[in-house]
Structure 1
Amino acid sequence: MTRLAARALLAVVFWPSLFFFWFLGPFVFLLLSTTSSEVCPRLETRAEFLAAANATLPMLAVQGLVYAVPILCLVLWERLLPEPARARHIATCVKLFAVTIVVGALWAYGSSLMCDGYGQPFFSPVWQWTSYLPVINIAINIPLYVLTFSLGRAYSTREDVPAGDATLPDQIVP
């Protein structure tokens, strides 16, 4: 497989995964969460709360793997076309992504522990601080989205045709 074909294949995976997983994924995972309004009132003991919170861990692992697809595409693009300037940006993307995964997992796990249908303080009030984590996650995700989008755009455009030399179909002379 040529480098151009590999880059095109990565672009076919990168763009749909970026838009569907990163932009629509949070809504789907929110709908699948175990802390829905039907589950919370049925939890009465500390063990039930802990079991509900621990049940979110496999979903959080799957969510992290799904969200990692665009980052993996960027890493593979860098392996195909190594550039030191882009490598630093990809390293920044990986670090920001790791931080957002940790913050998101803490928020999801903490919100599972806070979901007390009867106002009973089963767990430490420290878990209530996790309600502020989505704000932190958004502050980290905005630069991550912009950087990932710009890197994806840079890698998925063809470099063998200069922008100034591009001809329109009606300008081609036989």
Structure 2
Amino acid sequence: MTRLAVRALLAAVFWPSLFFFWFLGPFVFLLLSTTSSEVCPRLETRAEFLAAANGTIPLLAAQGLVYAVPVLCLVLWQRLLPEPARARHIVTCAKLFAVATAIGALWAYGSSLLCDGYGRPFFSPVWQWTSYLPMVGIAINVPLYVLTFSLGRANSTREEVSAGDAARPDRNIP
């Protein structure tokens, strides 16, 4: 397969995964990863409560793997066309992604621990601080989304057209 074909294949994976996983996925995983309000009133012991919260861990791991698809596409694009300027941005993107994933998982797990149907303090009040993590997550995710989108756009566009050919009017007519 040629490099152009591989780049096109990566673009075909990158854009849908970016849209569905990063923009629509958080709503689905939020609903699936937290302990539902119907389950909370039925939890009466600390062990039951902790077991319900720990039940979210496999889903959080799956969420992290699914969210990694666009970042993996960026890394593969960099392997195909190594550019030092983009390499620094991809490393920054990977670091932001790792931090955002950790904060998101901590928030989802912490919100599962906070859901007690009877208002009893089963766990340390430190878990209540996890309610502030969505604000931190937004502060990290906004630059991550912008950087990932711009890197994806730069990597998925064709660069074979020279500037002289692009300026000629007979080349732009379909």
TM over 0.5: yes
Answer yes or no: is 1:168 the counterpart of 2:155. no
Unaligned runs of 5+ in 1: none
CA deviation string 1:116-157 (max 9, x = no partner): 100000000000000000000000000000000000000000
In structure 2, the CA distance between the partners of 1:48 and 1:164, relative to structure 1 (3 Å rule), is farther
Q: Does the 8 Å contact 2:34/2:109 carry over to 1?
A: no
In structure 2, how many angstroms separate the alpha carbons of the residues matched to 1:39 and 1:97? 31
Q: CA deviation at 1:36?
A: 1.5
CA deviation string 1:14-73 (max 9, x = no partner): 000000000000011122124121111111110011001110100000000000000000
Q: Does the 8 Å contact 1:71/1:93 carry over to 2?
A: yes
In structure 2, how many angstroms separate the alpha carbons of the residues matched to 1:11 and 1:115? 40
Letter in 2 for 1:41: P
Aligned pairs, number: 170
Alpha-carbon RMSD: 1.1
In structure 2, how many angstroms separate the alpha carbons of the residues matched to 1:163 and 1:58? 50
Matching residue of 2:39: 39
Q: Does the 8 Å contact 1:46/1:122 carry over to 2?
A: yes
Answer yes or no: is 1:127 the counterpart of 2:127. yes
Q: Secondary structure at the match of 2:56?
A: helix
Q: Does the 8 Å contact 2:33/2:60 carry over to 1?
A: no
Letter in 2 for 1:132: Y
Where do 4+ consecutive residues of structure 1 move more than 2 Å? 162-170
In structure 1, how many angstroms separate the alpha carbons of the residues matched to 2:143 and 2:34? 29
Letter in 1 for 2:95: K
Letter in 1 for 2:110: G
Matching residue of 1:54: 54
In structure 2, how many angstroms separate the alpha carbons of the residues matched to 1:90 and 1:109? 28
Q: Once the two structures are aligned, what percentage of the paired residues are identical?
A: 84
What is the TM-score normalised by the length of structure 2?
A: 0.95
